[in-house]
Amino acid sequence: MDIKFRVIEKVTQSTTFCNLKDDFKQLLPLISQKSEIINLQPYGKIRCGQVITNDSLIYFVSNSKDYINSSSKFKNDLSYLTSLIESFLKDICQQQVEFQKQRTQRLSHNIRSINANCLTSFFSFFPQEELSKKDNKLQNKIDKISRENHLDIPNLLLKLHKNHLAIKTEFEVFEKLYTQNPFLSKKRHKVHRVLMNVFYPFFNDFQEKRVIVNIYPSESKSTFDYDTIHVAFFHLFENAYKYSKPNSTIDVSITENGPLTIITYSME
């Protein structure tokens, strides 16, 4: 079946698929019927057709003698091809819907988990049953609880800040992975400084597990997109905190091997 075609989405007017020769593309504005002959030099007669479906505009082109000589054969094969194209596009569309659903579910799940961590941290300081009572003195109540229990408010703020960074990280991952042309700002950065920026919000978490983290000084620099590497380091420290053994020591060293910058985590 020597028929080439271009599929155009009706709503966006974007090309979904096209296998036409470049020379044949100039025929498209001239095609207005399901089957017609158009002359194109140096090819001569070309059998062309246009089919409009619910979602697509499909142009068909062939220089096969069988189709040039038989309009009925061309129309029959167009009907068959159109049904195949519609079925294929329907499957692709369904796959895209499922893919979008999965990635948004992942984002939703992770954000909900982080939000739960925020609430747990907050209500560990200020009991929910106390704050849920209807009155207009909530600020005074929080102040009273803080004073009476000598609460470590800076520690709470640090935990909330860490969870805020986690949410920011989730959105950055989402944008970098699923934006068609993500913007990457590659600049020269001192690796140790970036590591420390990510580590500070985790400091109290490690301290609560009595885990000592040694990030050894280094002047090594590397070229990378800050947001992307920040996300990677965030997950490294998050997993290091989750899976580190209490009363242990984690050493983080930065070395160079030619053009490579190597970051090594080791636990004792």
Order the strands of the 249-257 sheet from edge to edge: 212-215, 249-257, 260-267
Total number of domains in the chain: 2
Asked if pLDDT for residue 78 goes beyond 70, the answer is: yes
15-45: pLDDT as tens digits:
989 999 999 999 999 999 999 999 998 889 9
Structural domain includes residue 229: yes
Structural domain includes residue 152: no
More confident residue, 72 or 145: 72
Instruction: Let me know: does 176 contact 192? Beta carbons within 8 Å.
Output: no
250-262: pLDDT as tens digits:
999 999 998 899 9
- Token output for 167: 């949410």
Full domain range(s) for residue 226: 185-268
More confident residue, 111 or 135: 111
> Can you tell me the distance from the alpha carbon of 68 to that of 46, in angstroms, rounded to the nearest whole number?
7
Final residue belonging to a domain, choices 55, 78, 98 = 98
R_g of the chain, CA atoms, integer Å? 31
pLDDT at 248: 95
Asked if pLDDT for residue 103 goes beyond 90, the answer is: no
Rounded mean pLDDT of the chain? 88
Nearest to 233 by CA among 188, 191, 174: 191
Give 37: exposed, middle or buried? Use CB within 10 Å, 0-12, 13-18, 19+: middle
pLDDT at 93: 82
Instruction: Let me know: does 118 contact 160? Beta carbons within 8 Å.
Output: yes
Q: Which residue has the tokens 């803080």?
A: 146
Instruction: Let me know: does 223 contact 188? Beta carbons within 8 Å.
Output: yes
Q: Which residue has the tokens 């692709």?
A: 92
Final residue belonging to a domain, choices 73, 98, 123 = 98
Compute the average pLDDT of residues 177-181.
Answer: 74
Structural domain includes residue 133: no
Structural domain includes residue 202: yes
Final residue belonging to a domain, choices 59, 80, 98 = 98
Q: How many CB atoms lie within 10 A of CB 171?
A: 13
Structural domain includes residue 107: no
In one-letter notation, the amino acid at residue 58 is I
> Can you tell me the distance from the alpha carbon of 64 to that of 209, in angstroms, rounded to the nearest whole number?
76
> Can you tell me the distance from the alpha carbon of 73 to that of 64, in angstroms, rounded to the nearest whole number?
11
pLDDT at 110: 83
> Can you tell me the distance from the alpha carbon of 105 to that of 110, in angstroms, rounded to the nearest whole number?
8
Q: How confident is the model at residue 190 (pLDDT cuts 50, 70, 90)?
A: very high
Q: How many CB atoms lie within 10 A of CB 63?
A: 19
In one-letter notation, the amino acid at residue 93 is C
118-134: pLDDT as tens digits:
888 888 888 887 777 66
Structural domain includes residue 218: yes
Instruction: Let me know: does 100 contact 90? Beta carbons within 8 Å.
Output: no
Structural domain includes residue 159: no
CATH number at residue 218: 3.30.565.10
Query: What is the value of pTM for the model shown?
Result: 0.57
Structural domain includes residue 116: no
B/e letters for 82-118, b = 16+ CB within 10 Å, e = fewer, are beebbeebeeeeeeeeeeeeeeeeeeeebeeebeeeb
